[in-house]
Amino acid sequence: MARDSRTPARLVGAAPRAAFEITFDGRPVPALSGQSVAAALWAAGILAWRTTRVGGRPRGAFCGIGQCHDCLATVNGRPNRRACLVPARPGDAVTTQEGHGRAGLDT
């Protein structure tokens, strides 16, 4: 076997699925099967998708394991989703979450 053909995907027999699209604030973003919403946004160069309640400071993924809640996003109309834990699905609509993410919701 040639040295350059020994890739991790080939060694484990992986057969990656085709890329698909999600949207972020209406813009198309490519995603891969198995990626989280945060990983897809990061790969597209999008580093912030939430603003803080006080001051409107930008936030994105920080811990990457769902502990810090900095990566909260609105996914398919549902606010307060931890983007680092939500698997990206074809057609997902991700929007910037402002503040506490409850604007427009009856609470």
d(CA 46, CA 39): 10
Q: List the Cα angle 21/44/54 in 5-degree steps.
A: 105
User: What CATH number belongs to 19-98?
Assistant: 3.10.20.440
Per-residue pLDDT tens listing for the chain (107 residues): 456 678 777 777 767 788 999 999 999 999 999 999 999 999 999 999 988 888 888 888 888 888 888 899 999 999 999 999 999 999 999 999 877 665 555 44
What is the distance between the terminal CA atoms of the chain, rounded to a whole angstrom? 62
Name residue, tokens 């680092």.
84
Domain map of the chain by residue range?
19-98
